[in-house]
Structure formats: C-alpha cells, structure tokens
Amino acid sequence: MSFLKKLGQVVLTATGIVTGYGPTLAAMIPGDKDDKALARITDGLDNAMGAIVGAEMFGQALNLPGPDKAKAAAPALFQILMASKLIAGKKLKDPAKAKAAAEAMGGNLADFLNAFED
C-alpha cells in the first residue's frame, strides 16, 4: 500500500493521527533568512499535501478513482496557490488554465506521495 493510500486510510478510519511530514527543511540549512524562507515554502507544501490527503480520504470513502481524487483536490490547491505572496495583486488572465494546472498538480503530488512506502 502506498504512503498516500495508507495516510488517507488512517485519517478516514480514525485509527491514528497524522502528525506531519517529519522535520522541515529549515532545520537542515543554517541561517535565519534561509530558515524563514524554507519554513514558508514548507508550510505551503504541507498545505498542498494536506489537500491531497483530504481528497484521498474522501475519495476512499466514496470509492473514487485517482483522477477524480485529483479533481477533488484541485479547488483547494488552487486556493493555496492563489494565496501565494508571489502572485499577490496580480490579475488572473486565464482562470481555466490555472485551474487545470492545479488539477495536474494534484495528480502529481498524489503520485509523489504514492512513491513512498507506508
């Protein structure tokens, strides 16, 4: 069973508590400035992966296939991306393209998480 499936199953069945993804990258690189930047990046990635875990959990409950889980995660990923300081104040000229990219990202993040053992 992949890491993502196991994690979704744990959350869904309430047999355990997901406590995080291990130590942050910030602990590996010295310096205040780097620590703060990496902490922000790690927070964003944790939020994105949390959206994937949530979609996995509900997808398992509804017996959805992988592509439908990616679609389910897309709105949350889209909101996480839109909250980025990098694009703050910028006008979104192609919402359909941005939403499709969020869906593709959902599938890619799920694939990444599925690459790990449980």
For the chain, the domains span: 3-114
Per-residue model confidence (pLDDT) at position 39:
62
pLDDT of residue 83: 87
What's residue 94's pLDDT? 93
Query: Which residues of the chain, if any, have pLDDT below 50?
Result: 14-29
Contact between 35 and 29 under an 8 Å Cβ cutoff? The reply is yes
Distance (Å, whole) CA 75 – CA 50 = 13
**Using an 8 Å Cβ cutoff, are 113 and 4 in contact?**
yes
* pLDDT tens digits, 50-71: 888 889 888 889 999 988 988 8
Q: What is the per-residue pLDDT for 2?
A: 64
Give the containing element (helix H, strand E) for 90: none
115, 6 Cβ separation under 8 angstroms: no
